[in-house]
Amino acid sequence: MDDALHPYVLRLGDNALVLSQRLGEWCGKGPALEEDMALTNVALDLLGQARMWLSYAAELQGDGADEDSLAYHRNAPEFRNLLLVEQPNGSYADTLVRQFFFDAWHALALRELGRSSESRVAGIAQKAAKEVAYHLRRSSDLIVRLGDGTARSHEMMQAAVDNLWRFTGEMFETDAIDAAARAAGAGFDATSLRREWLAYVGEVLETGTLRMPPPEAWMQKGGKQGVHSEHLSRLLAEMQVLQRTHPGAKW
Amino acid sequence: MNSTWPLWEIFIRSQHGLAHRHVGSLHAPDAAMAINNARDVYTRRNEGVSIWVMKSADITASSPDDKAALFDPANNKVYRHPTFFPMPEDVKGL
């Protein structure tokens, strides 16, 4: 097993997989047909990215694992996704703000990973970056529209921003796994990324007349190390039930 | 939400050199979002290289009652149809 890269690639795959599953919960229930399809498109993009990352993680793991065994036969503590992406959908405002915070980080992270000297990571990141550029354009647009919309939409968006802010710090936390991946040519400088993220997010929120909470606020963390909120177990229960009940079931 | 969003007609150009074709309609609060929505609703399977949107309300349509006066006279004049020319097989898009 490639210890330097495997857990790092797993984190990237789990972020995409868990957020994709969350967005999939909106399928058929979006506030408008057009929004429903747009959000489901984002979910499908992320699912495609999750497959690429998890397939690579399975190769690095090398014990007969594949993308499906990683997606369906791990328990919550073995998942390495950010706490942000496992948060419940809540209202459409909560879903959009969660998406916006993640997209803004995702676009920057993929840009950096696309420059990796590790060629598989660079290849997947470059492919995903095109999709995520659109995700970010769309979520930024909706933040501005709903933030600067009606009094009610503004209030809901601000509440979502304030509520989800504490999950944004984890995106820029670094540990031994990040350091090892960086040494292997596949990481990025989280500190400079954080500066860029704050500048971009601050600008969009301001355009949408929304108040950005203080960057130095207390931040929740642990998802990257496998310490998750109760929400992830329920998400996994729904996502994994078929493969857990009928292992290896195929269409 | 849709009750307050106007309807937009969507035109997609499928490849360079061909005209935009009407593909359907959707709801959106303004033109920019109509483009975004059109991208998500109508170009998910790589259908297009360009999108036009226009408000459905801006279309003036002919009346079905005028059908006979507008269209029937063209039918019985065979010389109006260019059917007497051999078409080169290699020329596409005619």
pLDDT at residue B15, as a whole number: 79
Residue A2 has pLDDT above 70, yes or no: no
pLDDT at residue B78, as a whole number: 75
Instruction: Report CB contact under 8 Å: B40, A37.
Output: yes
pLDDT at residue B45, as a whole number: 75
pLDDT at residue B76, as a whole number: 74
A192 pLDDT tier (thresholds 50, 70, 90): confident
Instruction: Report CB contact under 8 Å: B1, A34.
Output: no
Residues on chain A touching B35 (C-beta within 8 angstroms): none
pLDDT tens profile A5-44: 999 999 999 999 999 999 999 999 999 899 999 999 999 9
Catalogue all structural domains in chain A, each as residue range(s) with its CATH number: 6-245 (1.20.1260.10)
Of A38, A137, A145, the CB nearest to B37: A38
Of A34, A134, A141, the CB nearest to B41: A34
- Report ipTM for this prediction: 0.72
pLDDT tens profile A211-244: 999 999 999 999 999 999 999 999 999 999 999 9
A1 pLDDT tier (thresholds 50, 70, 90): low
Instruction: Report the 3 state secondary structure along chain A.
Output: CCCCCHHHHHHHHHHHHHHHHHHHCCCCCCCCHHHHHHHHHHHHHHHHHHHHHHHHHHHHHCCCCCHHHHHHCCCHHHCCCCHHHHCCCCCHHHHHHHHHHHHHHHHHHHHHHCCCCCHHHHHHHHHHHHHHHHHHHHHHHHHHHHHCCCHHHHHHHHHHHHHHHHHCHHHHCCCHHHHHHHHCCCCCCHHHHHHHHHHHHHHHHHHCCCCCCCCCCCCCCCHHHCCCCHHHHHHHHHHHHHHHHCCCCCC
**Chain B nearest CA to A210, separation (Å):** 21
pLDDT at residue A189, as a whole number: 87
pLDDT at residue B2, as a whole number: 47
pLDDT tens profile A73-84: 999 999 999 999
Q: Average pLDDT, whole number, for chain A?
A: 95
Mean pLDDT score, A92-98: 98
Mean pLDDT score, B36-63: 89
Mean pLDDT score, B28-49: 88
